[in-house]
Each structure stands twice: as structure tokens, then as C-alpha cells.
Amino acid sequence: MPENVVSVEKLNERLVANPFNAWMGLRIVELTEETIEISLEWREEMISNPKARVTHGGVLGALIDVAADFMIGAKVGAPVPTVDLRVDYHRAAAPGNLKAIGRIVRLGSTNSVAEAHVYDEEGRLIASGRGVYFTAAAKK
């Protein structure tokens, strides 16, 4: 695996300049050569079922996509287009902040694969998934 080519500060600027990411209150908490940790600030509008008050799966999927994408971004210089994404929902998320850990599965010349796991504030695994990202343009 190549070394990161951008700083966490630079990558975080890119993250929060993205309006939907900003709406989700995303922030890069930590970036290592192997993982990225991104926190999400919960808000009332993220709720799905109003009685169960669980966080909407679409928000969890977005968080997984961003964490996987930005770990690739650390290696290629910038976030890249998502080709496809698979999300598995493991447990309902009660109201509260979340964090995601992103990792690269395979950095390829054209398409790359990365995964992410989402945890609640008690450290329980809420959702996880993996996606294919188009890295051809970014690596040129």
C-alpha cells in the first residue's frame, strides 16, 4: 500500500466543503496509513421510523460511503467517484453520534475497493459495507 499523499487537515477541508457531509456533521477524527475515522453528529432529521427513533439507513450508508471513499482519497489525493456500494445493516442505531472506520481492501489502477464499519457511542457495530471506487482519473 502506498503512503498517504494528503494531510488530515487537507482531507478534512475537502470533507466539510461537501454540503451533505457538512449537514451530517462529518469530521475526520484520525487518519493513519491504514484507517480513517470519521465522526457523524446526530441530528433529529436523521431519524427514520418516528416511533422507534432509529437512524435512517440512508444516513448510515452515506457514512460508510464517505469513510471508504476518503481512505482511498488519502492514498490518491482526493475523494473519488463511487461506482457501487453495498451496505449491511447489523443493528438499529438509537439517537446519538456515530463513527465510521474506513479501510482499503484493494487499491487498483482503475477500480479500487474499500470498506467501512459504523459504530455507535457504546462501540457497537451498527452497519458495515464496501464499495468500488473509480481511481483511474485520480491516479493520473
Q: Which residues bind a second copy (CB under 8 A)?
A: 17-24, 44-50, 56-59, 61-63, 65-66, 79, 81-92, 105-106, 108, 110-111, 113, 125, 128-130, 132, 134, 136
- Smallest separation, CB 47 to a second copy (Å): 4
CA–CA separation, 48 and 12 (whole Å)? 28
CB nearer a second copy, residue 99 or residue 130:
130
CB nearer a second copy, residue 39 or residue 111:
111
CB-count burial class (<10 Å; 0-12, 13-18, 19+) for 72: buried
- Smallest separation, CB 112 to a second copy (Å): 9
Q: Which H/E stretch holds residue 75? A: helix 57-76
